[in-house]
Amino acid sequence: MRLFWVIAIEEFETSFCGAKLSNRFLCLFLGLIELSVVIASFLQHGYSYIKFRHVFNCHSDIPVNATWNDRILAYDVIIFDFGLMHKILGTTECVANYLDGGYMRCAWCVQHASALVLMIVVLSCIPRPVWLLWPALFMQSSFVLGMAILTMATAPKMLEAFNGSVDEELGVAVFTYCFGVGMNWLFTFILWHYYWGMESKYSPPRISLPIDL
């Protein structure tokens, strides 16, 4: 599988401009980064509940000189939204608050983190059975598909924002969002190829049965 003519993903290794890296190493590395993002997102819920007795008291309409305490709950870390949705949509709360107040987001963080921890353990010391990678494959695939839907839904507003005056804050927010989404797609592609490679490696050989005519 080729991406942008410079990335070639195979079953056990991925090439970046000709430099090859093990898919197992890449899955561990990218998985640890994504796990840290998910844990940070879950800690937002803990902070929100301790301070406000609310599962996710997120308010994105903060002033430029906002304190660190204000910024902790102003950004939706799990979807790499560091002020982007407020800039292009004019929202005053995080996307999760408009859905159900943040309860699904909290549950998602727990499930996603559990799947990533299992994946890291499997990649580190339990090569088989390969179906232990299913939770991570399911959660990552669901996550990137959800991010794709969110991106397509907000793309017109994003393009409209670029037609106007683009300040540094908007540029950083767009770059952070696109980088986070792009790295998750790359992680998901590599994880699937690694899974297919391990599945073919450990699958029992097929025996051809004679056919009586």
Residue 206 lies in a domain: no
Residue 2 lies in a domain: no
DSSP the chain: -EETTTEEE-SSEEEETTEEEEHHHHHHHHHHHHHHHHHHHHHHHHHHHHHHSSTT-------TT--HHHHHTTSBGGGTBSSHHHHHH--SS-HHHHHTTTHHHHHHHHHHHHHHHHHHHHHHH----GGGGHHHHHHHHHHHHHHHHHHHHHHHHHHHHHHS---HHHHHHHHHHHHHHHHHHHHHHHHHHHHHHHHHHHSPPP-PPP---
Residue 33 lies in a domain: yes
pLDDT of amino acid 197: 94
For residue 174, the enclosing domain spans: 26-201
pLDDT of amino acid 78: 96
Residue 99 lies in a domain: yes
* pTM exceeds 0.95, yes or no: no
pLDDT of amino acid 29: 97
Residue 79 lies in a domain: yes
Residue 66 lies in a domain: yes
Residue 213 lies in a domain: no
44-94 pLDDT per residue, tens: 999 999 999 999 999 888 877 778 888 899 999 999 999 899 999 988 999
Residue 209 lies in a domain: no
- If one counts the domains in the chain, the total is 1
Ranges of the chain with pLDDT below 70? 204-213
